[in-house]
Structure formats: structure tokens, C-alpha cells
Amino acid sequence: MLFNSYIFVFLYLPLVLLGYYIINYFKQYKISNVFLVIMSLVFYGYFNHSYLLIICGSISINFLISKILQWNSPKVYIKKTVLVFGIFVNVAIIFYFKYYDFFLNNINMLFGKAFELKNNILPLGISFFTFQQISYLIDSYRGETGNYTFDEYAIFVSFFPQLIAGPIVLHNEVIPQFRSKKNRYIIPENFSKGMYLFSLGMFKKVLLADTFGKAATYGFGTIETLSSIEAWIVAWSYTFQLYFDFSGYCDMAIGIGYMFNIILPQNFNSPYKSTSITEFWSRWHMSLTRFLKTYIYIPLGGNRKGKIRTYINILIVYLVSGIWHGANWTFLMWGGGTRDLELLEPAV
Amino acid sequence: MFCLSTYNIREEIYQCFDLIEVLFLEENIPFLYYLMSAIKGFNLWIFICGAFFIVTNFRNSKEIEFRPTITKALITIVFMVWSVLSFAEVSTFLYFDF
């Protein structure tokens, strides 16, 4: 279900808000959690109901693994093994759906083989909810998670405003807000702010991004015949389409969060105002940058192990960011190229 | 692309920016009508210049200190109604592909 569709605006969203606040009015907080999880799964399954199996399976397995990680086992290697297994399961799921064909294609090309491709359809939001759950497993291993119930964990992963395209939230940002009783009732100021942000985001998406999108699509379709000035217009159009599309989505997601009194983290901070590549990445898709920094860059040693290791760590982070965006060499080159630009920055 | 060797812009690209609502305003406001007739592809340049201005000057929505006011309510209604009326042509979000 799209945020910018009649069914979402006129049926789904009013129904979920109404149901959620009515159940909470009767102080049935547990039931309201379950209601929200079910409705979030309806939102997700509306695209393709076979995806439901993947997300439900992923939530259940990860919750189970996190519970094992939370046990106070005196043997560190057991916990470490479980964590590695948990991360492996998540990476394997995302690998199968997103990278399997890319991997086989390269094997076929490199060794002249003819392995049959799977042509898997990429389940929506898999990159987002997988990263979110990996972060949860690592935090469980570190002993930084609370004793959450299954419904709380399921809400943290599946809460529909952030399920399909982020922001990648952390458990300690969302679950305590759901636990707070005062958040269970309508707060008019939050609700009006949510409505305002939602309509602002929808305007950016529908009127601005989609208008630029028409020019970009036309331009990419006729790229060989474009004149110089047309090529510039198409390039600008795609630049603005990408900006308003993502900015609009983030505003809508954060706006819906406010309607439920849940404040989602900022994900987009006027990135085209940046004066450097480093600043740009601290403003664009901020929750992904935070994930990469906290769960990859710092555990690899960050900048604490000498210059060469720092460069390698930065390269790894950008390559992961590149391949996360898509299974193609172009994305990897884009990741590597961005790293090079960042390294060149001090010299410029 | 960089040497700007050819300058022609085809009609199809201009038409991408001809929103019905904007055309309606331009046809009914004489000043806008004059500009539209005088400048070829007026809407295209307005969109590009306007977008450039927005992305480099406007405050981020999180930076806006929100207080419910009549103006904000009106903006919400106008944006919502305008967007809903344009739903027929919408596409999915680019980040859904990631």
C-alpha cells in the first residue's frame, strides 16, 4: 500500500488510527500493540501477500535469537557464536533475495558457466527491516536491550510508517515510546503536526517529485538522442526527483509517526545545502549512515588503528552502502567513488 | 553534454512540467499569461529554479518549530487536497527499490 494512494489516505490510515486509539481508550495496551502489528502486516502484505511469510519468519527467528543472546551465559564464545549465526541468517536472507542472481551472473561470466538465475522478486523493505534487526541482535549481544515482549519487538520491526523505506530505527528509540502510557492517547499538538508533515510530504512527492520524474523518465528513455541542454535538464530533473521523493517519504513517515505520538528519527536534513561529501552523508539518509557508522565502521576499529586501517574501514563502509542500494557493479563503483571523493576532500 | 553543442529542447520535455493546475492559473492571471507567452518553456524553468531555491534555502521540516495556527491548517488542507486530486498520476517511491 502506498502512502500516496486513495486506499491509504481514506481507508487504511483513518481505520488504524481509530482502532488504535479506541483500544487504548479502554486501556487494552497489549491488544492495541497486537492490532498495530496486524495492521502493519496488512499494509505490508497489500503489495504481495507472499512477502508476509518472509517478514513474519524474519521477526520470529530474530526474536528467538535475541532471547538466547540476552541469557546471562558465562561463556562468551557461546553468545558470540549465536550472534554470528544470527547475523549470518539475516545476511543469508537478504543475499538470497537481493544478491543471488548478481552473484551467479558474475560466476557465469567469470568461469563461462550457465547456472540458472532465480529471478527472485525483491521483497519490499527487506534491506531496511534486516538492518534494523541486525542492529537489535548486536545490541542484545552487548546487553543493551530491555526485556521486550514479542508484540513490542514486532511493533519495533513492523511499525508501518518506517517499514518499507526507513528510517532505520533503533529499539531504544521506538519501544520506550510505545511503553509510555501518555503516548497511548491522542495529543492534539502531535496529531496536527503529523497531519502537517504528512501533507507537506505528500505535496513534495506527488506534485514535485513526480513532475520531475516524468522528465527524468522521458530523458532516460531517449538518452541517445538528447541534446546537450536536454541532457542537463534531465540530470537536474533526476536530481530533484530523488531529493523530493525521499524527502517527501521521510516527511510522510515522520508525520504518521507523530499521529501515533511516536517520534521517528530524522532521516533527511536538507542534504543539497552540504558543502562537502562528508557533510552530505551526514544529511542524506541519516539513519543508514548512523547504522553503518555504529555497527560496521566503529566495530572495525574506526579511526583508532592507524591511517591505512582507517582508509580501509571507510572503503568497506562505502562499499557496503553501495551494495546495499542495489545488486550491481555500478552501485559498488558508486560506493567506492564516493569514498575516493571523501578522501580527496582535504586536498581540494 | 558539457560543451552545450546543441540547444534545442523538444516539446515532450516542456510538456512534462505543464501541470493542469499551473496552466489554469496562468490562463487566468494576466501577468502569468504574459510571462508564459513571452518565455518559451516558462513552467520548466520555474520548476527547476524553484526547486533549486527550495533545496538550498528552505528550512528542513524538522527544524520548523511547529505551532498549530490557522495558516498551518490552511497549508495542510491545500497541500492535502491538491495532492489527493493528483493521485491518478502517482508513482511508487524510488527507495522502494532498495
Dist. CA A134–CA A265, nearest whole Å = 18
Dist. CA A5–CA B67, nearest whole Å = 28
Determine contact, residues A5/B84, Cβ cutoff 8 Å. Answer: no
Number of H-type helices and E-type strands within chain A: 17, 0
Q: Which amino acid is at B21?
A: E
* Residues of A with Cβ-Cβ distance to B20 under 8 angstroms: none
For chain A, say whether B3 makes contact (Cβ under 8 Å): yes
Dist. CA A288–CA A128, nearest whole Å = 9
Dist. CA A163–CA A267, nearest whole Å = 14
pLDDT, averaged across chain B? 81
* Residues of B with Cβ-Cβ distance to A324 under 8 angstroms: 98
* Residues of A with Cβ-Cβ distance to B97 under 8 angstroms: 122, 326
Q: Which amino acid is at A180?
A: S
Dist. CA B6–CA B15, nearest whole Å = 20
Residue found by looking up cell 538465475 in the block: A117
Residue found by looking up cell 580527496 in the block: A344
pLDDT score recorded for residue A346: 64
Nearest to B91 among A127, A165, A213 (CB): A213
What pLDDT digit, counting tens, does each position of A61-88 carry? 999 999 999 887 667 888 899 999 999 9
Determine contact, residues A5/B90, Cβ cutoff 8 Å. Answer: yes
pLDDT score recorded for residue A57: 94
Dist. CA A62–CA A122, nearest whole Å = 20
SS3 at position A214: helix
Q: Which amino acid is at A69?
A: L
Residue found by looking up cell 588503528 in the block: A305
pLDDT score recorded for residue B97: 66
Task: Give chain B's end-to-end CA distance (angstroms, integer).
Answer: 29
Nearest to A210 among B61, B62, B90 (CB): B90
More confident residue, B31 or B52: B52
Return averaged pLDDT per consecutive 10 residues of chain A, 348 residues in all.
87 96 93 95 90 93 92 80 94 91 90 84 88 94 89 94 88 93 92 93 91 91 87 93 91 94 90 86 87 90 85 87 86 80 68
pLDDT score recorded for residue A258: 94
Which of A49, A171, A285, A325 is catalytic? The answer is A325
Question: C-alpha grid cell for residue A179?
Answer: 511503553
The residues facing A268 across adjacent strands are: A284
Question: C-alpha grid cell for residue A183?
Answer: 503516548
CA A122 to chain centre: 14
Dist. CA A154–CA A305, nearest whole Å = 38
Q: What angle do helix axes A150-158 and A171-179 make, rounded to 10 degrees?
A: 120
Question: C-alpha grid cell for residue A295?
Answer: 555497527
Dist. CA B60–CA B30, nearest whole Å = 34
Dist. CA A99–CA A102, nearest whole Å = 5
**Residue B31 vs residues A204, A250, A304, B74: alpha-carbon distances, Å:** 26, 36, 62, 25
* Residues of A with Cβ-Cβ distance to B51 under 8 angstroms: 208, 212, 240, 243-244
Dist. CA A238–CA A221, nearest whole Å = 13
At residue B5 the predicted structure's pLDDT band, cuts being 50, 70 and 90, is low
Q: B19 CB contacts (<8 Å, ≥6 apart)?
A: A207, A211, B43
- Compute the average pLDDT of residues B19-23: 80
Nearest to A229 among B7, B60, B76 (CB): B7
Tell me the H-state helices in A204-268: 210-221, 228-259
Q: Give yes or no: A325 in active site.
A: yes
Q: Which residue of B has its CA nearest to A223?
A: B1
At residue B4 the predicted structure's pLDDT band, cuts being 50, 70 and 90, is low
pLDDT score recorded for residue A259: 95
Our CA angle for A258, A264, A266, nearest 5°, is: 115
Element (H, E) at A91: helix A76-94
The residues facing A284 across adjacent strands are: A268
